[in-house]
Structure 1
């Protein structure tokens, strides 16, 4: 039987801290969110390994990103307690749960119906009240614009969906791992009026996010 509390502490000390993740609030949240609840039962004992974990068995499977690159991307977002966050590609809700420990409100977006149900169940079972998960396409248009201070994409993309930029408030920032060939580079995009400024920060690797066109709209 795995001691998950100990495994979680080892994950933070040996995987996350050693990758220059030092933000105290984030480290505290990573220590408190039970990652094992967000992976399939058959893989639960592997929840804290330094690898991405498959969440589905589809031809284009979805993954829970490895702890270290996920934590580095969240730290890059520099989320404040007063901010609203959009979590694109919420999966079973782990990323949404972590972000909820840092922000005022989090909305996760997940196109897979089964994963979206699991995410909502997981958040509810943990008593997380400042987060929700919407079933919608990962690049579905949003009614109204400028809702969020931070947008995070939970997977590598070759191009950031336009709808993700439109979701940002003026001055808001978007965090994405942009795939260029075999290399993924973490970018911070900042919305300034109608313009988007960007800067590249570091190279890392997380599984791809299957961004696809979707006709539906969702409202916050």
Structure 2
């Protein structure tokens, strides 16, 4: 059986070999990744797999979970998102796609409040249980369709889409404060880009796409035609 010291070593190796070598060097991000025990959010017997650079299915059957996006993203993707967002202690955050609750736990380490939305009932309960067991008290898990955001709670300092979309809906962008940031993975397989959109005014935004990746789709988001003739 893997003991705690083995898991601590595996976490340290993940940060050293996967995260730091891929230009994630922000000390605050490294601190958060060290503090939150990723293995506690992984529903696997072999907890060491929590630190591998792979997607982890969260429900059965595993193949269907991976296909439908019911999985944890790779650690490097999560680390890159955290680094780009540059969270502040006063930030109010909306996450779409709670999954196991791990990303919400990371966000909660740096933000004041996190609301995370999840459609799959089993994952709603999993995320709530994981967060409670980890002692995270500033995250609220809601069963809801996140494609339209949460207008009743807007505006947000930060919105995180924990999965990929073909495009970011305007309804979500409108729920950002001026100066707020939205992180998403945008595009079509095999070319998607980590995207950071910052609201600079009432109707103005800037967009940066600093890294490439691939992630499963979030459910119910618009899927426009890939090609136009």
Q: Taking structure 2 as the reference length, what is the TM-score of the superposition?
A: 0.86
Q: Deviations over 1:46-94 (max 9, x none)?
A: 1111111111236324110111121012111111111111111110100
Distance change >3 Å, CA 80–CA 175, structure 1 → 2: same
Higher mean C-alpha displacement, 135-144 vs 119-128: 135-144
Matched, 1:208 2:217: yes
**Alignment root-mean-square deviation, CA:** 1.9
Structure 2 runs not aligned, ≥5 long: 223-229
Determine the structure 2 residue equivalent to 1:175. Answer: 183
Higher mean C-alpha displacement, 50-59 vs 184-193: 50-59
Q: Deviations over 1:85-142 (max 9, x none)?
A: 1111110100000010111111111111111111111111111111111110121452
Which residues of 2 match residues 1-220 of structure 1 at below 5 A?
1-2=1-2, 3-42=6-45, 44-57=47-60, 59=64, 60-144=68-152, 146-191=154-199, 192-212=201-221
Q: Is the Cα–Cα contact under 8 Å of residues 69 and 205 in structure 1 kept in the other structure?
A: no
Structure 1 runs not aligned, ≥5 long: 214-220
Q: Taking structure 1 as the reference length, what is the TM-score of the superposition?
A: 0.89
SS in 2 for 1:92: coil
Distance change >3 Å, CA 212–CA 203, structure 1 → 2: closer
Which of the two has greater helix per residue?
2
